[in-house]
C-alpha cells in the first residue's frame, strides 16, 4: 500500500544571483492586445524538464475555459515566447528544478510558464488577479515573485476553497515563491496601487503542470 503523503504546499526562495539575473528581462515585456493588456504585460512558453535538462516545446495558444477563468475565458491568447537569454540561464532552470522537486513532478511533464509584469495605475487600484479566488485548472502551480517596485498591496493568498478566507497571505518579493496543489487549493492576490507617483509594478513567473 502506498502511504506517500499527497503534495499540498511549500514556500521557498530563489538565490539572490537568480533574482538579479531574471529581473532585467521584465523590462522588455511587450504590450498585450487582450482584455488584461492594460495592466498585464506577458510572455508565455512551455517546456519539458527531464533530469536537469530543459527542452522548449512548440509555440501554442493559451486558453482557459470560462468555468475556470471568469475574466477572459474561452479566449485563445497567443503571447510572444520567453526570450532565449532567459531560457538559457541557470536562474531560469533553478525555478524548474525547485518546482519539480517540491511538487513531485515527473520527467516529460509539460510545464507552462507565464512571465508577467502587473502594472499599478495612478487612477485606480489594479486587480493583480482579476479572476478573484480561483484555480488554474492544473495539478501543480508555482508563483515566483521576482520584484515588487513601489507597490502597496499585491499579497498572494492561498485558500482552502473558493469561499474561505486565506490561510496564507504574504507580499512575496525578491525571489520568494509558493508551490501549491492546484486541485486542492485556491489562490488569489490583493489589488495593487502605487506607493507614490513613481513607476509601480510587480514582476512574476507563474509555472503550471
Which set of grid coordinates corresponds to residue 183? 486541485
Whether residue 2 is contained in a domain is answered as no
Give CA separation, 92 vs 14, 29, 61, 137, in Å. Answer: 10, 16, 22, 23
Whether residue 86 is contained in a domain is answered as yes
For 108-137, the pLDDT digits (tens) are 999 999 999 999 987 778 888 888 899 988
Whether residue 1 is contained in a domain is answered as no
Which pLDDT band holds residue 71 (cuts at 50, 70, 90)? very low
Own/partner long-range contacts of 81-89 (Cβ < 8 Å, ≥24 apart)? 81/43, 81/44, 81/45, 81/56, 82/43, 82/44, 82/45, 82/113, 82/115, 83/25, 83/28, 83/43, 85/25, 86/22, 86/25, 86/115, 87/45, 87/54, 87/56, 89/21, 89/22
Whether residue 101 is contained in a domain is answered as yes
Instruction: Report the C-alpha gap between 181 and 141 in whole angstroms.
Output: 6
Whether residue 98 is contained in a domain is answered as yes
Q: Is 3 a residue whose pLDDT tops 50?
A: no
Whether residue 129 is contained in a domain is answered as yes
Only one residue has cell 527542452, namely: 55
* Average pLDDT of the chain to the nearest whole number: 88
φ and ψ at residue 44, rounded to 5 degrees = -150, 130
Q: What is the pLDDT of residue 64?
A: 43
Model-level pTM greater than 0.85? Answer: yes
For 80-111, the pLDDT digits (tens) are 999 999 999 999 999 999 999 999 999 999 99
Residue 174 sits in a domain of what CATH number? 2.60.120.620
Q: Is 204 a residue whose pLDDT tops 80?
A: yes
Q: Is 70 a residue whose pLDDT tops 60?
A: no
Which string of DSSP letters, residue by residue, matches 107-167?
TT--EEEEEEEEEPPSSS-B-SSTT-SB--SSSEEEEEEEEEESEEE--EEEESSTTSPPS
Which set of grid coordinates corresponds to residue 13? 526562495
Range of the domain at 109: 9-208
The tally of domains found in the chain comes to 1
Instruction: Report the C-alpha gap between 32 and 43 in whole angstroms.
Output: 9
Which set of grid coordinates corresponds to residue 139? 495539478
Whether residue 3 is contained in a domain is answered as no
Q: What is the pLDDT of residue 55?
A: 95
Amino acid at each position: 500500500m502506498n502511504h506517500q503523503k499527497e503534495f499540498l504546499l511549500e514556500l521557498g526562495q530563489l538565490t539572490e544571483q537568480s533574482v538579479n539575473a531574471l529581473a532585467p528581462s521584465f523590462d522588455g515585456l511587450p504590450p498585450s492586445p487582450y482584455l488584461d493588456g492594460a495592466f498585464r504585460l506577458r510572455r508565455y512558453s512551455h517546456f519539458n524538464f527531464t533530469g536537469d535538462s530543459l527542452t522548449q516545446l512548440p509555440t501554442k495558444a493559451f486558453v482557459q475555459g470560462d468555468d475556470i477563468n471568469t475574466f477572459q475565458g474561452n479566449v485563445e491568447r497567443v503571447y510572444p515566447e520567453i526570450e532565449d537569454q532567459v531560457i538559457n540561464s541557470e536562474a531560469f532552470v533553478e525555478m524548474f528544478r525547485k518546482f519539480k522537486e517540491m511538487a513531485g513532478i515527473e520527467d516529460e511533464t509539460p510545464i507552462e510558464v507565464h512571465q508577467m509584469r502587473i502594472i499599478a495605475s495612478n487612477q485606480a487600484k489594479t486587480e493583480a488577479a482579476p479572476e478573484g479566488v480561483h484555480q488554474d485548472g492544473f495539478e501543480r502551480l508555482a508563483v515566483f515573485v521576482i520584484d515588487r517596485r513601489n507597490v502597496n498591496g499585491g499579497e498572494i493568498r492561498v485558500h482552502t476553497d473558493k469561499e474561505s478566507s486565506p490561510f496564507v497571505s504574504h507580499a512575496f518579493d525578491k525571489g520568494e515563491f509558493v508551490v501549491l496543489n492546484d486541485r486542492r487549493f485556491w489562490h488569489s492576490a490583493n489589488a495593487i496601487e502605487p506607493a507614490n507617483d513613481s513607476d509601480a509594478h510587480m514582476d512574476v513567473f507563474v509555472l503550471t503542470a
